[in-house]
């Protein structure tokens, strides 16, 4: 049988209480739209329902694909978690090491207190540079 299938789907973004609840509404005909000799319109011809074996085969195929995808996602998440843990450990180690290094004194950054006492500015003082 030659023909075309068709479907209509639209997205509804809100639920009945105006809550955000995106979901789809679809119309999927159980058949084909086939050409009719001598007419431009197509005619709908229903297809027989799938057999129990066909439903089982399709369900198993979908289950295998979903399982395979979930396993890949779980493995990727494990790898990402491992990388995050390694990064956190390196960061912690670096931070702990930096805490053991003596902090430079203010005089090394801004000069000694005597350098600022003679400048006469109220904004300057011990360990603070003159701003103006």
Please write the tens of the pLDDT for every residue from 24-55: 999 999 999 999 999 989 999 999 999 999 99
Question: Which structure tokens are listed for 53?
Answer: 């074996």
Is the pLDDT confidence value at 99 over 80?
no
User: What separation in angstroms does the CA of 99 have from each of 10, 85, 95, 128?
Assistant: 59, 21, 6, 24
What is the value of pTM for the model shown? Answer: 0.45
Distance from C-alpha of 35 to C-alpha of 30, rounded to nearest angstrom: 17
Q: Read off the pLDDT of residues 65-76 as tens digits, 9 standing for 90 and up.
A: 999 999 999 999
Q: Which residues contact 33 (CB under 8 A, 6 or more apart)?
A: 3, 4, 5, 6, 42, 43, 44, 45
Q: pLDDT at position 95, please?
A: 82
């Amino acid at each position: 049988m030659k023909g075309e299938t068709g479907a209509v789907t639209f997205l509804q973004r809100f639920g009945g209480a105006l809550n955000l609840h995106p979901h789809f509404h679809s119309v999927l005909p159980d058949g084909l739209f086939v050409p009719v000799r001598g007419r431009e319109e197509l005619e709908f011809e229903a297809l027989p329902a799938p057999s129990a074996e066909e439903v089982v085969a399709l369900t198993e195929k979908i289950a295998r694909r979903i399982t395979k995808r979930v396993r890949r996602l779980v493995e990727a998440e494990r790898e990402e978690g491992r990388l995050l843990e390694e990064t956190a450990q390196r960061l912690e180690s670096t931070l702990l090491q930096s805490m053991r290094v003596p902090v430079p004194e203010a005089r090394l950054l801004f000069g000694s207190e005597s350098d600022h006492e003679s400048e006469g500015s109220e904004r300057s003082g011990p360990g603070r540079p003159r701003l103006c």
